[in-house]
Amino acid sequence: MPNIVPVLDHPAEHELFGQALTCHAVLPVQFLAGDRPLMQQQAEAMLHGLAVAEDSRAEDPDDHGEVPQSMQRLEAKLDLVLSLLGKLASQQASPLPVRPLRWSHLGLRVDAAAASGSREGDLGVIRLQPVAWLGDHIELPARVLAIQDTPDGGQHLWLRFGKLTAGLDDALTRHLFRMHRRQVAEARQVASEQ
């Protein structure tokens, strides 16, 4: 899988991603300006639940042993049910816009198709769907670190995470590590097929 989110030469890029493990993705994400209290325990619980679900799946048979066919069928059915529930939930709430992003444990860069109306220094909340197949999102406190307009009328928005609880910080770091590991495995598979 090629890197769909380019690395940019910008000071904010170096601050958020220079020495950190990074991932790129196209996910539903939105920044809402305005400081408000967040219940970080909900985000932590969701990320822990994702970890349990993803770690129990056999992504690599060498790591987990052979998975029985009945378990694979059960996982496939569960994926379908979760997908349907996600669609139902998204119909009742206004959906988050799908955007390319680059992500580290320090923050993220959102590549928007239009200007966001945000200003550097704005405090707010990142609403982010951490995986494509889940119809729910987490909320993380953030501050606009930098903004850069693009020639096509879009905008790069660098967002630095605010103060996270120790549990949420750990869950987020583990989630990013799993994403990174999957992206490396996908890149190796693509390279071996060429």
Residue-level pLDDT at 117: 84
Output 155 or 91, whichever has higher pLDDT: 155
Question: Quick one: which of 145, 137, 38 has its CA closest to 97?
Answer: 137
pLDDT band per the 50, 70, 90 thresholds, residue 2: very low
Instruction: Give the model's pLDDT for residue 162.
Output: 94
pTM of the complete model: 0.79
What mean pLDDT comes out for the span 95-114? Answer: 92
Provide CATH code, domain 11-56+69-189: 2.40.10.220
Contacts of 86-95 with C-beta under 8 Å, sequence gap 24+, read: 86/133, 86/134, 86/135, 86/136, 87/135, 88/135, 89/135, 89/136, 90/135, 95/28
Work out the pLDDT band at 147, boundaries 50, 70, 90: very high
Region 116-137 average pLDDT = 88
What digits encode the pLDDT tens for the residues 32-82? Answer: 998 787 888 888 888 888 887 776 654 544 444 566 777 767 776 776 676
How many CB atoms sit inside 10 A of residue 26's CB? 13
Euclidean distance between CA atoms 28 and 96, whole angstroms: 5
Q: pLDDT at residue 1 above 80?
A: no
Selected residue with higher pLDDT from 128 and 35 = 128
CA 67: distance to chain centroid? 28
Q: What is the mean pLDDT of residues 7-29?
A: 90
Domain extents in the chain: 11-56+69-189
- What mean pLDDT is reported for the chain? 83
Instruction: Choose among 122, 119, 108, 107: nearest CA to 149.
Output: 119
> For residues 24 and 102, is the Cβ–Cβ distance under 8 A?
yes
CB 28 within 8 A of CB 137: yes
Q: For the residues 173-183, what does the mean pLDDT come to?
A: 90
Lowest-confidence pick of 16-20, 55-59, 187-191 = 55-59
> Average of pLDDT values for 114-126?
90
How confident is the model at residue 155, as a pLDDT? 92
